[in-house]
Structure 1
Amino acid sequence: MTGTMRLQHLLFAVVSLAALSLQASKDPLNDFCRRWGHQTAQIDGKLYIDGGLVAWNPISSNPLNYTNTWLLYSDLNSSATDSGMPIQHADLTKNSTVPSVSGGILWSDSVNKAAYLFGGEYQNNPADFSFWAYDVVLNQWNETKYSSNVDTLQRVAYGAGTQVEELGMGYYYGGWMNSNTSPGWAGLPMATSNLITFDMTSGTLNNNTGPDDVGRAEGQMVYLPASDGGLLAYFGGVEDPYQNGSFVAANMTQIHLFDISSSKWYTQTASGQIPESRRQFCAGATWADDHSSYNIYLYGGYGVDNVTGFDDVYILSLPSFTWIKAFPAENSTASSYPHGGCSANVINRSQMLVIGGWFTSSDVCDTANGKGQHNMHLGYNGPARSLWDKYDPKVSAYSVPTPIISVIGGG
């Protein structure tokens, strides 16, 4: 090793130690400024928030991005008076042996009171693939044994995941493999084309095929209780057709559907007010009581081509497969605070809690009082009768709102 290399390694070690020291001195709630790339799981009135990256307040004095090593939760049975958002807590257990990653998923298992951590990438120094579960009752993490239809599984990041709790199944489609997901990765980043399924009852973690051979990442997938056994709907993000380190924007009119009962993929073309191509946005789904329409709400995201990010809301309504712009109401693409890397969780089919995101054109903190939480009343039935409104733990009904009815009809 040359003298220059030794100096570089020494400087890196000094910086790393300084960063760890600063991280240890921070309080995950009182020093909060931003969070993004995290995983969430909703179990028994608590929304657990794991991993991702954080920035500390004031961001002008804390310019680095840190790995979030805490497990936090938002109490969905509460609403803080000052912020109008669920009260957050940071008193749960997570030791250093448990992976702290970004772009993975926490599959919720309300029956067994557990959240399963799959995928995600490290900020540096990735570890071999492992599968962990958080026991909600015992407040402890356990490395989880599993069986699989393949000999080895590799960690992937920023794919699209969801779960179907009534079936006890978790799903994760696509995602990147790179030098932050896999030790010794020497090639270019590569997006996968596989659908990972997890059977929470048998502990089976299987690798299955996607709709085609094209690698995809940074899109979203939601569950819809339609068809005989339910559907998974995937859209957005980027595609990796050449696997040469480049990627292209996914067409937002192309909706990939996985029929759970038949294990078959289909593609449907959407119309209407098509959102601009984007990646690392967040989305959630709800539906009318009579299942006459299923409505997927999309928020924000990073741009792919000439736009850094978005601060808007679109609704994809099925079965008409119509895109509807819900926010801002005027015909404008202007964004006040464009950001991506957020999470979205639909609560009681009536509200969607959007958490976090990295702001692409601003150094402001993300609503410090609300800890980066923003709430939608999906049926516009909150106190303000608008889309964005204070969180209300008592609201549990969804009515198809006027912006959808005015386009597709119904009542």
Structure 2
Amino acid sequence: MAGVVLFTLYLYTLTQYALAAETNCSRIFHSAVISNGKLYIDGGEMHTRWPNETITTKPIDDLETIDLTKSWVNSDTDLYTYIPKPLANNTAIYLDEGAAWSDGDNLFFYGGYVSGVNGPSVPPLGTWKYNIASNEWTHNGFSGAALVRLCQGGAVQSSSKAYYLGGSLNPGGNPSFAGTAGADVYMDPGLITLDMDKQEWTNASTADMNEWGTIGDGYTSLLESAGEEGAIVAFGGYKYSVGQTLSYLAYRQNETIHRNSMETVRVYDISEQKWYTQQTSGDVPGWRMSGCTVVAPAQDLSSYSIYVFGGMANTTALSDGNVYVLSVPSFRWIRVTDDNSIRIKHKCVRPQNNTMIVVGGNTPVTNREYDPLPQNCDSATFANGIGIFDLHSLSWISNYNASYSDAYRIPSKVSDVIGGSETGGATVVSPKDGFNSTSMESLFKKRNNATDSGTSSTSTSSTTGQSSSGSKKSLSGGGIAGVTVGCVAGVGLIADLAWFLARRHRKAKAASSTRLAWQSDASAIPPLESPQKELYGSGPEVYEMGVRDQARFEMPAENMAVEMPAEGIKR
């Protein structure tokens, strides 16, 4: 009997070690949106760290949530709740670098591509909707302009409209091109809009945005109460001519002509469907891509503070982890923090007037931007892949206070530049050298009745609704789902658990650290004489991203939602 007890205790000790052995490293390529007092995080890839410093990678196939109606600390082990997806027959899907929006009752998912690390087969084209109350998924009922599936565009929203600016077409997201000889990643122009009430897509031209009308992995923000129907502000990221192949890596963006400026920003009047350019001044940040923004309007709407965090230049030496504010309509840049903690591929949301939450992201090391390395793992500031920034005190904190309901207060570092006080009253309401056009000046003198959600890449909603889901006392993708050892129930139970953990460990190891070519060091990527590809097991073909010009694809009729490389593709 004593031997059985000792053996049981031995297995229990091994189990506890195994439970503690793996930790989350970082999460990238996901989307994030707030609805009904919850933060929803979808798709992307999780890097898991093991005791021997091995990092494994796997795609995330469930929908994850954080309760924003309760207070918590970002290091809490029960921070996340997980909603399983019905993946059979593509009832629901999971992709990298997709976009998410919410109308308060439903979540909408568009864009992306399959993971190159044990990802699924390429799903059919479409827009997916998740009804929060009924916990049901569908991709039926959408109409309007025909779409291809894009990635790395700018996703913003108002209360009823979802906008997607620019982006690129990846064969890994489009079943008609996956496996097609000569298919490659290339730029695509256009601003597509989803009316979430009607479930209808429309398209607007971006030809006047810049010389090619393209932008990828840049910074896109919505000023919802500006003008008649709002204004979109865009800067940073990359740009290439339509049909030109490209690399998604920041360190490959060596030519200035392929960088959307941080000093000259683009402004889109939604009501007039007109693009403007405007010079900025002040603490203009160096060019960057792969960061995020949130928008905080002054209480009197005399100014909008666009908070900009993270991103990477074409070298880590030229990058920084500072937080900047672009104040509009003065178009003044103000650096509000000094930090060397570079972060890329994260999302930002604004759940409260004075709070920004940073979701996921990765710390690039030299040009190893996405490689799963111990140096890339999250610091304590971003425990559980969550960072919290106070927009008024301009400080990183670890605790989320659900009762923090103060109105937005402009920090003194901003009001010292634009005048007024923490509640508004800006006295500097035009650019240093004036507006580029009187029409744009008129745009910023108008205010509509919209209540700014204050977010850019995602949006909040105050309506209510519940989803059926299970709580896991583990970290996103890194812990063991639903396993709690409260007591030693017997040798059989412990042995079964130990077997499960060993099996899961082998499965995680099988999800190797192999990266797509555009996510890896340049030394591993040969010059492209013709499009090349790697095969990941029996999954879809994943293409390397070249940097040379390839043959341009013919564009379809002007009334299509986005420029498409071939005919016959249906949404």
- TM norm structure 2: 0.60
Aligned to 1:360: 364
Task: Provide the rounded CA distance (Å) in 1 between the counterparts of 2:77 and 2:275.
Answer: 38
- Distance in 2, matches of 1:131 and 1:69, equals 17
Partner of 1:91: 82
1:82 positional shift: 7.2
Q: How far is 1:306 from its partner?
A: 6.3
Q: 2:403: which partner in 1?
A: 394
Number of the residue aligned with 1:148: 144
* Secondary structure of residue in 2 paired with 1:405: helix
Aligned partner of 1:378 in structure 2 is 391
* Alpha-carbon separation, structure 1, partners of 2:152 and 2:73: 34
Contact in 1 for aligned 2:308/2:324 (Cα 8 Å): yes
Any conservation in 2 of the 1:72–1:88 contact (CA below 8 Å)?
no
Q: Is 2:152 aligned against 1:163?
A: no
Please tell me whether the aligned partners of residues 160 and 172 of structure 1 are also in contact (alpha carbons under 8 angstroms).
Answer: yes
Asked if the contact 1:86–1:391 (Cα under 8 Å) also holds between the matched residues in 2, the reply is: no
* Superposition map of 1:7-406 within 5 A: 31-58=23-50, 61-81=53-73, 83=75, 88-96=79-87, 97=90, 98-110=92-104, 113-124=105-116, 125-149=121-145, 152-165=146-159, 168-183=160-175, 184-185=177-178, 186-210=182-206, 211-212=208-209, 213-224=212-223, 225-241=225-241, 243-246=243-246, 248-304=258-314, 307=317, 309-328=319-338, 335=340, 337-361=341-365, 362-367=375-380, 370-380=383-393, 386-389=394-397, 390-396=399-405, 397-406=407-416
Mark the structure with the bigger radius of gyration.
2
Aligned equivalents of 1:54, 1:401: Cα separation in 2: 35
Cα distance in structure 2, aligned partners of 1:309 and 1:278: 7
Cα distance change of structure 1 residues 187 and 227 upon mapping to structure 2, 3 Å threshold: same
Secondary structure at 1:162 match in 2: strand
Structure ranking higher in strand proportion: 1
1:18 aligned partner: none
Deviation at 1:364, TM superposition (A): 3.1
1:82/1:221 Cα in 2 relative to 1: closer, same or farther (>3 Å)?
closer
User: Which of 306-315 and 279-288 deviates more?
Assistant: 306-315
CA distance in 2, matches of 1:364, 1:201: 40
1:179, distance to aligned residue in structure 2 (A): 2.5
Give 1:46 shift. Answer: 0.2
Q: Out of 396-405 and 262-271, give the one that drifted further.
A: 262-271
CA–CA distance in structure 1, aligned partners of residues 36 and 233 of structure 2: 25
Q: What is the distance in 2 between the residues matched to 1:316 and 1:81?
A: 29
Does the residue aligned with 2:417 lie in a helix, a strand or coil? Answer: helix
SS at structure 2 position matched to 1:217 = coil
CA distance 1:59–1:121, shift in 2 (3 Å): farther
* Residue type of the alignment partner of 1:203: Q
Distance 1:282 1:58 in 2: 29
Q: What is the CA deviation profile of residues 79-136 of structure 1, one whole-angstrom value per residue up to 9, with x for unaligned ones?
A: 22574x79632331313232211222111111xx101001112114433312101111
Q: State how many pairs are aligned.
A: 366
CA distance in 1: counterparts of 2:38 and 2:379, whole angstroms: 21
2:171, 2:156 → 1: CA distance?
25
- The sequence identity of aligned pairs, in percent, is 27
Q: Which has the higher helix share?
A: 2
Please report how far the alpha carbon of residue 69 of structure 1 lies from its aligned counterpart in structure 2 after TM superposition.
Answer: 1.1
Change (3 A) 1:379 1:306: closer
With over 3 angstroms needed to count, the CA separation of the structure-2 counterparts of 1:172 and 1:67, relative to structure 1, is same
Q: Give the letter aligned to residue 146 of structure 1.
A: F
Kindly state the Cα deviation for residue 368 of structure 1 after the two structures are TM-superposed: 9.4
What is the TM-score with the length of structure 1 in the denominator? 0.83
Distance 2:129 2:347 in 1: 20
Change (3 A) 1:87 1:347: farther
Task: State the shift of 1:140 in Å.
Answer: 2.5
Could you give the per-residue CA deviations for residues 132-171 of structure 1, whole angstroms, max 9, x where no partner exists? 011111123222321113xx31100111011101xx1000
AA matched with 1:304: N
Q: Partners of 1:369 and 1:403 in 2: how far apart? A: 25
Following the alignment from structure 1 to structure 2, what is the Cα–Cα distance between the partners of residues 308 and 276?
8
Q: How far did 1:57 drift? A: 2.9
Superposed CA RMSD: 2.4
Tell me the alpha carbon deviations over residues 17-67 of structure 1, each in whole angstroms, 9 at most, x when there is no partner: xxxxxxxxx99xx84321112111111110100001111133855423321
- When structure 1 is superposed on structure 2, of 140-149 and 342-351 the one drifting more is 140-149
Moved more, 169-178 or 360-369: 360-369
Change in Cα spacing, 1:306 to 1:408, as seen in structure 2 (3 Å) is: same
Q: CA deviation at 1:244?
A: 3.4
Q: Tell me, in whole angstroms, the C-alpha distance in 2 between the residues paired with 1:209 and 1:90.
A: 40
Question: How far is 1:307 from its partner?
Answer: 4.4
**Structure 1: runs of 5 or more not aligned:** 1-25, 329-333, 381-385
Structure-2 change in CA distance of 1:369 and 1:278 (3 Å): closer
* Range that drifts further, 188-197 or 286-295: 188-197
**Helix, strand or coil for the counterpart of 1:72?**
strand
Which whole-Å CA distance do the structure 2 matches of 1:304 and 1:252 have between them?
A: 14
Residues in 2 aligned to 1:52 and 1:142: alpha-carbon distance in whole angstroms: 20
Task: Point out which structure has higher relative CO (alpha carbons under 8 A, 6+ apart).
Answer: 2
Amino acid at match of 1:142: T
Maintained 8 Å contact 2:49/2:56: no
